């Protein structure tokens, strides 16, 4: 597998649709030599993440869960709070992380992702 660098512009794109495309690129499903047990060396860069198109309803009503494992340890954050505190960069990383397969290759795939405002 060869090293490949892909740059994606997020201007006026929808967060979920772009995230699913990037997740497929990070898994290597866009290349002819795809193998599910090998992490490809494809590096993906998302630019202009702050210019992503998102409706107000999506910002306020979509909730992200974080559970510590203890009683009463469930924390919920909306897209609006994530955007104000950490920006669209963290929102893209969270969306793509959840779209990748939950196995030993996921951390390596996430290291190949770069998101810039």
Q: Domain residues for 24?
A: 4-53+86-115
Query: Is 92 domain-assigned?
Result: yes
Number of domain units in the chain: 1
Query: Is 96 domain-assigned?
Result: yes
Instruction: Give the pLDDT of the chain (117 residues) as one tens digit per residue.
Output: 568 999 999 999 999 999 999 999 999 999 999 999 999 999 999 999 999 999 999 999 999 999 999 999 999 999 999 999 999 999 999 999 999 999 999 999 999 999 999
Q: How many CA atoms lie within 13 A of 87 on its CB side?
A: 8
pTM of the entire structure? 0.93
Coil, strand or helix at 112? coil
Query: Is 78 domain-assigned?
Result: no
In eight-state DSSP terms, residue 50 is G
CATH of the domain at 97: 3.90.1180.10
Query: Is 12 domain-assigned?
Result: yes
75 membership: H or E segment, kind and range: strand 74-78
Query: Is 21 domain-assigned?
Result: yes
Query: Is 28 domain-assigned?
Result: yes
Query: Is 23 domain-assigned?
Result: yes
Query: Is 64 domain-assigned?
Result: no
């Amino acid at each position: 597998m060869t090293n490949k660098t892909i740059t994606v512009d997020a201007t006026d794109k929808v967060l979920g649709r772009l995230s699913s495309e990037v997740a497929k690129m990070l898994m290597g499903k866009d290349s002819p030599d795809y193998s599910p047990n090998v992490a490809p060396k494809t590096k993906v860069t998302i630019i202009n993440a702050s210019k992503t198109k998102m409706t107000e309803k999506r910002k306020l009503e979509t909730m992200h869960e974080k559970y510590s494992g203890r009683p009463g340890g469930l924390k919920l954050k909306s897209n609006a709070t994530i955007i104000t505190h950490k920006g669209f960069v963290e929102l893209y990383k969270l969306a793509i992380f959840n779209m990748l397969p939950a196995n030993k290759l996921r951390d390596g795939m996430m290291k190949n992702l770069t998101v810039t405002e």
